[in-house]
Amino acid sequence: MDYDEEYAGICIKHSFLNNDIDCISNDRDETDKSNPNYNFFKEYIKKEYSLEEKIINLCDLMCTTKTLTVEKRMIDLLLRHGIYKKTYYHIVETIKLKEYFDNLLGYNLYDLFPEIKENL
């Protein structure tokens, strides 16, 4: 669609964790093999995610109209979208992504967001 790949790419990658088209919390059409764009999506998200893209993945998981823990956000997604065969995998990878940033920081990521305590 003639958008810069840097920006268009994150629009594709932000919902797929772990570089895997099957790591999604719902059953969107992009993950249906009959979708004409399926192979493009599948191959595109295999590209290594930059630190910035991982941050955007995490921000997308933690932020709605307020900042949430990833655990609370997963409940929000389950309530809004339902549970699908890929949901469990997505939840496990979400927790791993949060742990990745905990380890990178050397402390609990949630410490950066004092407003999270207000949303518990």
DSSP assignments along 64-106, one per residue: SSSB--HHHHHHHHHHHH---TTHHHHHHHHHHHHHHHHHHHT
Largest CA distance in the chain: 44
- Each residue of 46-95: pLDDT tens digit? 888 889 999 999 998 898 888 999 999 999 888 888 888 888 888 999 99
By percentage, how much of the chain surpasses pLDDT 70?
Answer: 94
Stretch 8-33: mean pLDDT:
76
- Each residue of 87-102: pLDDT tens digit? 888 899 999 999 999 9
The listed range with the strongest mean pLDDT (2-11, 60-69, 101-110) is 101-110
User: Of 98, 84, 92, 23, whose CA–CA distance to 54 is shortest?
Assistant: 98
Q: What is the pTM of this model?
A: 0.83
Rounded mean pLDDT of the chain? 85
